[in-house]
Structure 1
Amino acid sequence: MKHEPDPDKPENDLGFLLWQITMTWQRQLNRALDEIDLTHTQFAIISSLRSLLKESNTVTQKSIAERSNTDTMMVSKVLRTLEKKGFIERKEHETDTRAKRVFLTSKGIKTFKHAFKITSATNQDFLSKLSDKDKFIQELQNIVRIDKIFNK
C-alpha cells in the first residue's frame, strides 16, 4: 500500500505519523516514569549527564545540550528542576565564570538506575509491535548519524 501525502488524510503523511508515534511513545514513557517523579525529558538529560561524566569530570550545561541534541535554555530549565529534586548538583567552573559544572548526586544515580529499568521495559513493550525491531533501530541510528554529520 502506497501512502501519498494528502492534506485531507494526515494519517498517510510520514511527518504526521512520525509526530504521532513520538507523542504516543513519550506519553507511555512519562506514565511509566511518574512513579519515580521523573519525566522522559528529565531522564534524557540525566542519561546524557551520566554518559558525559563517564568521559570527563567537567560537564557543563552546554555539553549536556550538545550530547542530548537539545536547546541549551531547555536544558537549563530541566537542570534547575533536577537540582530542586536533589538528583543533580551544580558547582562553580574552575576557569569559566559563566559556566557551572554539573554532577549527579547519589539520589540521582539511584534514580537513573531505576529509570533506566523502567524506560528499557517500556521501550521493549512499545517496540515489540514492530515486525523487525533490530532493523528499525539500526535505520533510526543511521538517520541520527546522518543528521549529526550534516547539521554540525
Structure 2
Amino acid sequence: MSDAPKAPSPTPGYLVWRLANKWRTAVDQALAPLNLTHAQYVLLASLSGMERSGRQPSQRELADHTGLEALYVSKLARSLEAAGLVRRTRDAEDTRVVRLALTDEGRKTVRPAIGAVQVLLEQLLAPLGGLDDPRTDDFKRTLTELLDTPLG
C-alpha cells in the first residue's frame, strides 16, 4: 500500500471551469469549417431562436440573453452585418436602440451550425442519458439555479 497522500478531489468550481472549456473547445472545432467563432454562433443561434418566437431583439436584449457584454455584442453585430449575416436597424420609437435581425444568408449560415452544435450536445449529455433523459432535465435545473444565484 502506498503512503502517498491522496490527491484532493476537484472543487465544483474547477469542474465547471473544465466543462466550460471542454464545451467551448468542442464548439470551436465544430464551427471552424463553417467559418464561425463560438461567440458569432452564440449571437446567431440566439437571434434565430428569438426570431422564431416572434421577437426582434435589441443589441442590449441579445446581450442580456446571451450573457455577453453589450459592447462585445455591438462589435459582433457590426462584423456579422459586414459579412451579410445580420441586419442592424435603429428602433423607430427610440433611435438609441439598435434592433437585430438575421438576413437570409444569416439563416442559411446558422442552420448547419445549430445542427453541428446539437450533435455535440447529444455527445456531451450521453452520460446522463441524452437530451430527453430526466437526469438531463435535473442537470439543466441545477445549472439554471446556479446561474440565477446572485453573487456578492
Larger Rg: 2
User: Which residue in 2 is equivalent to 1:140?
Assistant: 139
CA distance in 2, matches of 1:82, 1:117: 20
CA distance in 1, matches of 2:102, 2:87: 6
Percentage identity across paired residues of the two chains: 24
Match of residue 113, structure 1, among 87, 103, 111 = 111
**What is the CA deviation profile of residues 94-119 of structure 1, one whole-angstrom value per residue up to 9, with x for unaligned ones?**
01111112110111001111101111
User: Which residue in 2 is equivalent to 1:3?
Assistant: none
Q: CA RMSD in A?
A: 2.3
Check if 1:95 corresponds to 2:89. no
Check if 1:123 corresponds to 2:121. yes
CA distance in 2, matches of 1:144, 1:127: 13
**What is the CA deviation profile of residues 3-53 of structure 1, one whole-angstrom value per residue up to 9, with x for unaligned ones?**
xxxxx85x6111111101110111011011001111222111112111222
Q: Which runs of 4+ in 1 moved over 2 A?
A: 54-58, 125-128, 131-137, 143-151
Query: How has the CA–CA distance of structure 1 residues 91 and 29 changed in structure 2, closer, same or farther, with 3 Å as cutoff?
Result: same
Structure 1 residues not aligned, in runs of 5+:
1-7
User: Which residue in 2 is equivalent to 1:21?
Assistant: 19
Aligned length: 143
Match of residue 64, structure 2, among 59, 63, 66 = 66
CA distance in 1, matches of 2:11, 2:129: 22
Instruction: Report if aligned partners of 2:42, 2:66 keep a CA contact under 8 Å in 1.
Output: yes
| CA apart distance, 1:85 | 1.9
Q: Which moved more, 1:133-142 or 1:102-111?
A: 133-142
Name the SS of the counterpart of 1:12 in structure 2.
coil
| CA apart distance, 1:136 | 4.4
Instruction: Report if aligned partners of 2:58, 2:100 keep a CA contact under 8 Å in 1.
Output: yes
Task: Give me the TM-score of the superposition, normalised by structure 1.
Answer: 0.80
Match of residue 86, structure 1, among 75, 84, 87 = 84
CA distance in 1, matches of 2:107, 2:83: 13
Task: Give me the TM-score of the superposition, normalised by structure 2.
Answer: 0.80
Instruction: Report if aligned partners of 2:125, 2:136 keep a CA contact under 8 Å in 1.
Output: no
User: Which residue in 1 is equivalent to 2:4?
Assistant: none
CA distance in 2, matches of 1:80, 1:108: 13
Structure 2 residues not aligned, in runs of 5+:
1-6
